[in-house]
Amino acid sequence: MQKEETKKRIEQLTRVLEQHNYSYYVLSNPTISDYDFDMLLEELIQLEKEFPEYLLPNSPSQRVGGEITKTFKTVKHQYPMLSLANSYSKEEMQEFDARVKKGLELDTNSLFAPDIEYVCELKFDGLSISLIYENGQLKQAVTRGDGVQGDDVTTNVRTIRSIPLKLKGDFPPAFEIRGEIFFPRNVFDEINEEREEIGEAPLANPRNAASGTMKMQDSSVVAKRKLDCFMYYVLGENLHFETHSENLDKAKSWGFKISEKSKVCKNIDEVFDFIEFWDKERYKLPYDIDGIVIKVNNYGKQEQLGMTAKSPRWAIAYKFKAAQVSTILESISYQVGRTGAITPVANLKPVLLAGTTVKRASLHNADIISKLDVRIGDTVFVEKGGEIIPKIISVDLTKRNENSAPVEYISECPECGISLKRNEGEANHFCPNENGCPPQIKGKMEHYVGRKAMNIESLGAETIEQLYEAGLLKNIADIYDLKKEQLLPLERMAEKSANNLIDGIEQSKQIPFERVLYAIGIRHVGETTAKKIAKKVKSIDLLMHSTTEELLQIDEVGEIIAKSIQEYFSNETNKKIVERLIEKGLQFSLSEEQLQNTTEKLKDLTFVISGVFQKHSRDELKNMIEQNGGKNTGSISKKTSYVLAGDNMGPEKLKKAEALGVKIISEDDFLNLIS
């Protein structure tokens, strides 16, 4: 393809992908299948790799992330991001309305005093963000910070699909827009399910998780978190609109995601109606809100009212009370996960909370039980505020039975009776009987056949339970010994179902190595870590014989994961299962296609990349280092082999490299190393 044709194709793909992205994430009206979208995106990424000179900073390809940010630059806000004053009652809202009228010099005693028009908006429970646009392109994204200055998180924000990288329509040449980054509830639930599956502590709540995600160093991990964002405030010179509501409507036409739930209220009574409605209906939303934001709609009136040192006088936040009830803790049961992690669960006297009947609440681990000093028979307070799962927040000690005794945490597995263990530095106890404990056996099989693992759709939890009880499945390797004639006598198993199951099992043999590695269920090895390990070690045989030091050289592998990998392969039962899977023809090494262009030329060499490069992007250079056996790190130390420096190398890095005597090489020097 000629260069000019390539450039045109990149521009065309960019336009098409931007429109599909807008339709899906902003309008919630997809116009193309996920597969077709991925194919177009893959084509764009490939063309940009071959012709990096045509890669635009706001290309749709940047949505997938990959850039590492070790430190987040502090940026001063052009317009301070002030916090809002809070109110918690109707009386406080009436006082706010009176202050507004007084500030506008209206006669509040007159029967004919004009009402104030307010805009009511949902108060999203997430992370405030400020976006700077110039000539229709996203230039910078900055967190609220202390209100005067925040952190530059542009790289991570580019991965959020509902935030436009390029605007459409008649947008101003330069302006700022503010909004709230948040976790949709279903996404948050999925992440916590996966974390609990691999034995990691669940994220506390969507708000804190959104904030923590924005400060992650690896933008590709941020991209996988599927954050969302509503915009709610436009700032800038010459915006040409008299009201806040008009500006939001206009921002929507530029491509921003604006909440459809906002409402212009003609007076404070309509504001009360709006608050009352959403106080009841908020639990039906697919995301969390913790109140309502009320703003004077007219910009002229806003300017007249002005600001205090801490907050605007023309806006206020009405905060909902966290939904809370009291009930009786009747018992504590203990669940065993597929990794053996034990989760204590509070069984409660059923009680209505935030529109649903609550019977159970997670107690997480022994430390939480001890911290709460919660006991059987206690009257406990249960809350469902920013949390998805109800949690016990305290005990009503005035109602405690004087004969109550502290909870004695179990010492043996409730399923198989084996003594529990608790590793240093870990929150959970776990059952070490991984190949003999029924919930672990079945849980491992359910994980193995899952969509992100081997994707054997016909083999769901019920079928696994049925086959386990029939003695046909005792571990994941047994799946590949199943015969059609064994399946047909089973209840609800017709010939078509049996054929589909056998076909699905056969097709799973083509699943690539990194997903097989994730599927076999090594404790603490999640989907992303499995990919990193597979890319580095290239085969299961090399992984089985890796030393601790070699494992620690792999990106995202720390001491806990390294120890877990070695423990897994030191177990004879696990080794036999893997050997059986290898015999059945599963992919336990990288394919020829994946191995293409990989060498050991940079083996045992460690690189730090700094600056801007002419021929390749930083991500491409990092991939080239890994493909040739080298390792990328973010900071310079005595162990650093080379600093790969481009234009505008960080002065601190330069100073440290010179002080430690680390060799600094150019992009051309590096290309010579691997040529």
d(CA 539, CA 590): 6
Are 328 and 349 a contacting pair, CB within 8 Å? Answer: yes
Ramachandran bin of 606, using left for φ above 0, alpha for ψ from -120 to 50, beta for the remaining angles: beta
pLDDT of 376: 95
Are 209 and 203 a contacting pair, CB within 8 Å? Answer: yes
pLDDT of 110: 59
Q: Which of 271-275, 444-448, 627-631 has the lowest mean pLDDT?
A: 627-631
DSSP string, 596-623: TT--STTTT-EEEEESB-SSS-HHHHHH
At position 650, the amino acid (one-letter code) is: G
d(CA 572, CA 576): 6
Sign of CA dihedral 232, 177, 144, 387: positive
d(CA 66, CA 55): 15
pLDDT band per the 50, 70, 90 thresholds, residue 655: confident
Q: Is 164 exposed, middle or buried (0-12, 13-18, 19+ CB in 10 A)?
A: buried
Are 126 and 280 a contacting pair, CB within 8 Å? Answer: no
pLDDT band per the 50, 70, 90 thresholds, residue 388: low
Are 121 and 167 a contacting pair, CB within 8 Å? Answer: no
Q: Among 179, 147, 176, which Cα is nearest to 293's?
A: 179
pLDDT band per the 50, 70, 90 thresholds, residue 431: very high
d(CA 508, CA 517): 13
Task: Report pLDDT digits (tens) over 547-588.
Answer: 999 999 887 788 999 999 999 999 999 999 999 999 999 999
d(CA 675, CA 670): 9
d(CA 569, CA 71): 37
d(CA 107, CA 124): 35
d(CA 78, CA 72): 18
Inform me whether the pLDDT recorded for 372 exceeds 80: yes
HSE (side-chain half, CA atoms, 13 Å) at 557: 30
Q: Is there a catalytic annotation at residue 123?
A: yes
Task: Report pLDDT digits (tens) over 171-184.
Answer: 999 999 999 999 99
Are 345 and 333 a contacting pair, CB within 8 Å? Answer: yes
pLDDT of 111: 58
pLDDT band per the 50, 70, 90 thresholds, residue 217: confident
Mode of pairing for the β-strands spanning 631-633 and 323-336: unpaired
Q: Which residue(s) pair with 412 in the sheet?
A: 419
Phi, psi of 202 (to 5 degrees): -70, 155
Inform me whether the pLDDT recorded for 385 exceeds 70: no
Task: Report pLDDT digits (tens) over 109-153.
Answer: 655 667 899 999 999 988 999 999 999 999 999 998 878 888 899
pLDDT of 186: 87
For tokens 């019920």, what's the residue? 462
Q: Among 202, 165, 195, 163, which Cα is nearest to 182's?
A: 163
Packing angle of the helix pair 667-674, 618-627 (nearest 10 deg) = 30
Domains with residue ranges and CATH for the chain: 3-64 (1.10.287.610), 86-319 (3.30.470.30), 438-510 (1.10.150.20), 513-595 (1.10.150.20), 606-674 (3.40.50.10190)
d(CA 162, CA 25): 5
Mean pLDDT of the chain: 87
For 231, other C-beta atoms within 10 Å of its C-beta total 23
- CA 81 from chain centre, in angstroms, equals 25
At position 335, the amino acid (one-letter code) is: Q
* Among 123, 226, 391, 442, the one annotated catalytic: 123
Three-state secondary structure along 90-135? HHHHHHHHHHHHHHCCCCCCCCCCCCCCEEEEEEECCEEEEEEEEC
